[in-house]
Structure 1
Amino acid sequence: MSSESRSSPDANHIAFYLPSLRGGGAERVIVNLANEFAERGYSVDIVLVQARGEYLADVSDRVNIIDLDTRRFFGALPQLVTYLKRERPDVLLSTIDTANIVAICAKRISGVSTRVVIRISNMLSTKEVNGQLKHRLVHRVARYVYPYANAVVAVSDGVADDLLEMTKLAPEQITTIYNPSVTDELLQNRTEPIDHPWFVEDQDIPIVLGVGELSEQKDFQTLIRAFDRVVQDRTARLVILGEGPRRDELEALIEEFDLVDSVSIPGFVDNPYAYMSSSDVFVLSSQWEGCPNVLIEALACNVPVVSTNCPSGPEEILESGEWGSLVDVGDHENMAKSVISTLDQQDPIDTEQYARSRFSVEEVTNEYRNLIEE
């Protein structure tokens, strides 16, 4: 990795812009894309408001890290303008709403010919209802700014439909491209050993797995309530990987249901794929998503899945239940029934090849390449 400036702009120069590389789904997607484009011979920068986050270590040495080193997202605008004037990348691809707005404004202020492609990973309508005031304000600004992008990537058809309703974007401006979630690294790491006693001892006890930020969006409360029903039917264990603001609330619920000995929340782990491939059921309990990486990753790890039919992504990814069970958001009773019936399956379907054929980093990078080279 390097933060050095080039002496001249490159013909195939792609810059990715986002706040940081903390452990989120959007950040993982950008790292996957940046590494793959660099592997193909493109000149690639990742421009960060702050060069921090768990995924920094996963960035290829062929990718340049540009640290704007500012505390505020919108405060990065002058530095991004300077970067665009100096480096003049052919494409600036941004993700996360604040970064998208800044990217569009920076291009217009700088006057460069760089094409701005923005990636939308969640539904504006859902975030506007559930988000904090500052997030709602950002989305209202986005409605009017997004049409100035050269191209818009929606991570699912559901997100694309929502954009058409919530912004002044025209249908021809939006392209649906799913997340590049299946990588060689994932396929290799899923066989690594796990530092958790439940995956080493008593392996005859089935394990239910959830992965994600401990937040309102991921709704692990419903998963815990569903698991309480599951253990009334059979002995089982629940592991939730992730960290976040709802930890205390989740731990209180675990104590309330007397599940302390059968539920584990070990926090953020570097390799969730090994946990996925060694679990008996993966559950996505989210209230809303865009295109949930963890659901695709679970399919690639060949673990049977149960997911809420939240807006949006799961129904498209699972092809209306072809590759896993779908239940209503917040319905812990039917979630429990689906987990139990999944555990009872004698011959679970093979989901790995499906995931690799549709969501591999190679296939998805081809789609981005076609878009940016139009």
Structure 2
Amino acid sequence: MSRDDPALPSIGIVMHDFALGGTERIATRLAARWAEEGAQVRIFCGSGEGDMRGLLGGRVEVVEASPPIARGFGSRTSLGRAAARHFSERPVDVVFLPGNFHWPIAPALAALPRDRRPAIAVQVSATLSKPQRRTLQQKLFEWRMRHLLRDAQAVITLSAAATEEAERILGRPVVCTIPLPALGDARVPPKPVPDDSRIILAVGRLVPEKGFDTLIEAFAALPDPAAELVIVGEGPDRPRLEGLIARHQLAGRVTLPGFVSDTRGWLDKARLAAMPSRFEGYPAVLVEAFAAGRPAVATACTPATAELIDTPAAGRVVEVDDRAGMTAALQAMLDAPVSDPAKLAARVERHRIGPVARAYLALFQGLSVATRP
């Protein structure tokens, strides 16, 4: 398709900024791909700052709020109002809101006059039922979800289990499933596991919800003295994690190399991956691990874990914050025969960005036709 294909809908995206995060990474990669497919794509953001902006390329227009809107109390409400003013002045066919964090923007867009109101497509990026929530907290969350998304024309989830749950909460058939576009289109065959590798690789922001403290403590109890743990990522929890490493005398066996833009090199060195999160949406780190031919040990922090790890060859699932369970699962995978890398990679082919981006474009085309005045 040529650029600015008139057969495709014009797409707006609202993002608070381009901070390092899974939601921002996926949204920017999708935006770039939609533009390559010929769609007009414009991102309206509170701030243009952030490392993920570098993923956009040159075909996506970025408009920053004036004055800029920094993250903080009430900032998403302010961003919603600013976005509504912008898209009232420069209408688009569809506005895409990436992830749960951006849900509060939807009501302001829905309040626009009919002739300037875009179709609203909202993504569900995080699990809708967290084990940490009490019954009343869960009911309040579900009420808020229904309130914020009451006028959304489409709600996109990343798995069949999430679709079923979203439809139950919303009580209307506006939910569809489109896989997480965690992989590029270039198929790089997985490498064999190095014969002497005992490396366990974890990837993510160094923040409490990723559960790296539990992983370090579970690793400290491993009976395998040759095992190594590498946690790739950066964030505010680094000093606390470094303190845990020192307390358990794991210097030299546990390393925190910082943020890297591409984790494939680390995965190629690893025996297996670990995801000790306390909550996740659809975990890209597991998809990327399988694409590299590596099994994983992960917590049951999202229904997607069981969807991805459904055979012993794919890995083990443990409960959130179960240190003993994590230790046992890690050791079991280190002791098990090496899983077939090619078979693991084949499990996640549906997550290639090309077909996923086109599935979104087909959805947006239908929405723009259905909501046209």
Q: For the residues of structure 2 that align with 1:70 and 1:186, how far apart are their CA atoms?
A: 39
CA offset digits 1:95-131 (Å, max 9, x no partner): 233522213322323442411000011134429839x
1:145-180 deviation per Cα after TM superposition (whole angstroms, max 9, x unaligned): 212101101223343344345x4442x111122210
Cα pair distance change 1:297/1:255, threshold 3 Å: same
The letter of the residue matching 2:264 is Y
Please list the CA deviations of residues 39-75 of structure 1 after superposition, one character each: whole Å capped at 9, or x if unmatched. Answer: 1111111221111111111112111112122223221
What is the letter of the counterpart of residue 199 of structure 2? I
TM-superposed CA distance for 1:255, in Å, is 1.8
Q: Which of the residues 337, 343, 346 maps onto 1:353?
A: 346
Moved more, 288-297 or 265-274: 265-274
- Say yes or no: does 1:183 pair with 2:176: no
Report what 2:121 is aligned to. Answer: 117
Change (3 A) 1:203 1:11: closer
SS at match of 2:48: coil
**2:211 paired residue number:** 219
Aligned 1:156-235 pairs, distance under 5 A: 156-164=159-167, 167-170=169-172, 172-184=173-185, 187=188, 204=196, 206-230=198-222, 232-235=223-226
TM-score, reference length from structure 1: 0.83
Q: Would you say 1:370 and 2:369 are equivalent positions?
A: no
State the match for 2:301 in structure 1: 310
CA RMSD, 1 decimal: 3.0
Matches for 1:124-163 after TM superposition, within 5 Å: 124-126=128-130, 129=133, 141-163=144-166
Describe the SS at the equivalent of 1:17: strand
Task: Give yes or no for contact 1:181–1:359 (8 Å, CA) kept in 2.
Answer: yes
Identify the residue that residue 49 of structure 1 maps to in structure 2: 46
Report the counterpart of residue 69 of structure 2 in structure 1: 70
Select the residue among 331, 336, 339 that pairs with 2:322.
331
Q: What is residue 262 of structure 2 aligned with on the other side?
A: 271
- Cα separation, 1, equivalents of 2:256 and 2:298: 19
Residue 17 of structure 1 pairs with residue 17 of structure 2? no
Q: Which moved more, 1:345-354 or 1:51-60?
A: 345-354
Q: Which amino acid aligns with 2:69?
A: T
| Percent pairwise identity | 26
Deviates more, 1:324-333 or 1:31-40: 324-333
Distance of aligned partners of 1:84 and 1:169 in 2 relative to their CA distance in 1, 3 Å threshold: farther
**Structure 2 counterpart of 1:44, which letter?**
V
Letter paired with 2:234? E
User: Cα distance 1:137–1:341, how it changes in 2: closer, same or farther (>3 A)?
Assistant: closer
Structure 1 residues 247 and 169, CA gap change in structure 2 (3 angstroms): farther
Given that 1:123 and 1:162 are in contact with CA atoms closer than 8 Å, whether structure 2 keeps it comes out as no
Deviations 1:171-219 (A, max 9, x none): x11112221001147959x99xxxxxxxxxx994521111112222211
C-alpha separation in 2, matches of 1:179 and 1:269: 21
**Relative to 1, partners in 2 of residues 1:353 and 1:342: Cα closer, same or farther, differing over 3 Å?**
same
Q: Counterparts of 2:170 and 2:225 in 1: how far apart (Å)?
A: 52
Are the structure 2 counterparts of residues 28 and 321 from structure 1 closer, same or farther at C-alpha, using a change threshold of 3 Å? farther
Q: Does 1:59 align with 2:51?
A: no
Q: 3-state SS of the aligned residue for 1:81?
A: helix
Matched residue, 2:94:
91
1:179 and 1:274 map into 2 onto residues whose CA distance is 22
In the alignment, the residues of structure 2 paired with residue 46 and residue 139 of structure 1 have an alpha-carbon distance, to the nearest angstrom, of 28
Report the Cα distance in structure 1 between the residues aligned to 2:209 and 2:53, rounded to whole angstroms. 25
Q: Counterpart of 2:281 in 1: which secondary structure?
A: coil
Q: Which amino acid aligns with 1:178?
A: P
**Counterpart of 1:45 in 2: which secondary structure?**
strand
Q: Which moved more, 1:339-348 or 1:204-213?
A: 339-348
Checking the alignment, whether the CA contact within 8 Å between 1:11 and 1:90 is kept in structure 2 is no
Alpha carbons of 1:139 and 1:187: their partners in 2 closer, same or farther (altered >3 Å)?
A: farther
**Residue-by-residue CA offset, 1:276-323 (whole Å, 9 max, x unaligned):** 222121101112211011111111122221211222311112346563
Secondary structure of 2:277's aligned partner: coil
Distance 1:187 1:58, change over 3 A: farther
Give the secondary structure class of the aligned counterpart of 1:367: helix
Q: Which residue among 37, 40, 46 is the counterpart of 2:37? A: 40
Match of 1:343 in 2: 334
Number of equivalenced pairs: 349
Cα gap change, 1:203/1:364 in structure 2, threshold over 3 Å: closer, same or farther?
Answer: same
* Greater alpha carbon shift after TM alignment, 27-36 vs 320-329: 320-329
- The letter for the 2-side match of 1:19 is H
Q: Which residue of 2 aligns with 1:199?
A: none
The CA distance in 2 between the partners of 1:75 and 1:186, in whole Å, is: 42
CA distance in structure 1 between the aligned counterparts of 2:91 and 2:62, rounded to whole angstroms: 16
Q: 1:247, 1:83 → 2: CA distance?
A: 39
Structure 2 SS opposite 1:372: helix
Partner in structure 2 of residue 105 of structure 1? 108
> 2: CA distance between counterparts of 1:339 and 1:102?
41
